[in-house]
Structure 1
Amino acid sequence: MSGPEAAGKTRTSRTKDASERLLDRELVDLPPDLRWREWMLRVEAVIFAAAGPVGRETLARVVGKDCSIDLLIDDLRAELRDRPYEIVFVAGGWQHRTRSAYASAIRASQASTRSAAPALSDFEAMVLMAIAYFQPITRGDLSKIFGKEVSRDTIASLRNANFLASGPRSPTPGAPYTNVTTKHFLSAFGLQTLRDLPDIEALEDAGLLSRKGVQDEALAAAECEED
């Protein structure tokens, strides 16, 4: 790498190094209780300001090297116990979230929120659910599940909402790209990992969900949209 691109990367690296040097992470001049308090405030400020979940590596940049991020988060959660918002772990990081008990009040206020997710049609929601459970999956295989074509527009809508990304190519003829869910999908639905999805076999055993049910519900949703 050479020229303007290399120079730009060097400047960015130098700026990052300089900013980290300017921040006193260890705070050795403070007594232990005030040092801990300052680390707590820093961590909360970073989580509050971030556009998405904040990982451990990011938070470690603003506290001492021997500071326990987990204990800091525990203390922050304790402080927020009586507040209408909390710090939760989703999609591999921590994020401020409004408590569900206040969702109706927020909706009634009609205020624009930072975390407002794009509205999905019933059919788009069913397609997203199928991808979440059966990923990586091609559009053709989705069409087989639903018994009708899943259009490129439907996939594009879910991609534009940042719920989907391209997965590995399928070994089928033509090697089409598969579809997989994103970290934003996990964050939007309050999941730490895909393992937090309800077990589909358990749902089937309980009679709450079936692969045929997915198909039937999707067809009904699609017919309603066409009407």
Structure 2
Amino acid sequence: METEEGETEPMSLIEVERIAEALVFASSEPVPEAFLSERLPRGTDVGAVMRRLVEAYAPRGVNLIRTGDRWAFRTAADLSFVIRKDENEAKKLSRAALEVLAIIAYHQPVTRAEIEEIRGVQTSKGTLDVLMEAGWVRFRGRRRTPGRPVTLGTTVEFLDHFGLEELRDLPGLEELKGAGLLSGRIPPGFAIPIPQNVDELAEDEDPITQLDLEELGLLTPGGEADE
């Protein structure tokens, strides 16, 4: 809105919140804060705006949640039981896939050999394929060691699916015991690693190149993505 002098009238806080709300609602994927910042008035404290919206939606049937640096609307956790499951819902993960996913989540960046060392058994390509197809695991880079093994990590979609804001929100030892996921006698010195937020490559990782993607079967020679 412009004043008589031609100057733009500052937008009210309610209008700013409505725009942020609409941008998140209209997106089929979690919306990055950078995206919101580009579309809200210059100088807007995006974090403050979103925190106010979080409070406004807290008692409602849908909640505004943060996953990493992205925002999305999700059904309130206590109402999930009333949402009818799709008949074509993906099958539950196998125990092997759950174990591999947990190891990647807590130990990333991690290589396939390191996963097998922790589990004590070989990890099939099919297990990793299932996690990749679900969008929860990604190739991160190449480890600077002999053979340059590929490193694996989780994705924003992993955080979103499991309702986590960041990796540090993964349950610790006491939480796992309380949920009954660790039962029986726990070996002395047993510990759950503290997950790190490792979006950027570690010092011993090199970025994935086009040749790497071709080698991994993610791109056909020449740069075209496989169907």
Which residue matches 1:123?
96
What TM-score do the two structures reach when normalised by structure 2? 0.66
Runs of 5+ unmatched residues, structure 2: 191-227
CA distance in 2, matches of 1:182, 1:173: 26
**Contact conserved, 2:33 with 2:46, CA < 8 A, in 1?**
yes
CA distance in 2, matches of 1:124, 1:88: 26
Runs of 5+ unmatched residues, structure 1: 1-22, 214-227
Alignment of 1:91-170 (within 5 A): 91-106=68-83, 109-110=84-85, 119-170=92-143
- Shift of the alpha carbon at 1:161? 1.1
Which residue matches 1:195?
168
**1:75 aligns to what SS in structure 2?**
helix
- Of the three residues 52, 61, 69, the one matched with 1:84 is 61
Which residue matches 2:15?
38
Instruction: State the superposition RMSD in angstroms.
Output: 3.5
Which structure has more strand as a fraction of its residues? 2
Which structure has more helix as a fraction of its residues? 1
What TM-score do the two structures reach when normalised by structure 1? 0.66
CA distance in 1, matches of 2:118, 2:174: 16
- Shift of the alpha carbon at 1:38? 2.0
What are the Cα deviations for residues 72-101 of structure 1, in whole angstroms up to 9, with x where unaligned? 223323332332011111121111111111
Which residue matches 2:26?
49
Letter in 1 for 2:117: K
- Shift of the alpha carbon at 1:147? 2.1
- Of the three residues 165, 182, 185, the one matched with 2:158 is 185
Q: 1:79 to 1:29 in 2, by over 3 A?
A: same
- Shift of the alpha carbon at 1:111? 5.0
**1:195 aligns to what SS in structure 2?**
helix
- Shift of the alpha carbon at 1:203? 6.0
- Shift of the alpha carbon at 1:202? 8.4
CA distance in 1, matches of 2:116, 2:50: 44
- Shift of the alpha carbon at 1:51? 2.7
Letter in 2 for 1:149: Q
CA distance in 1, matches of 2:130, 2:86: 24
**Contact conserved, 1:86 with 1:96, CA < 8 A, in 2?**
yes
Instruction: Work out which of the two has the higher radius of gyration on C-alpha atoms and give 1 or 2.
Output: 1
Letter in 2 for 1:61: E
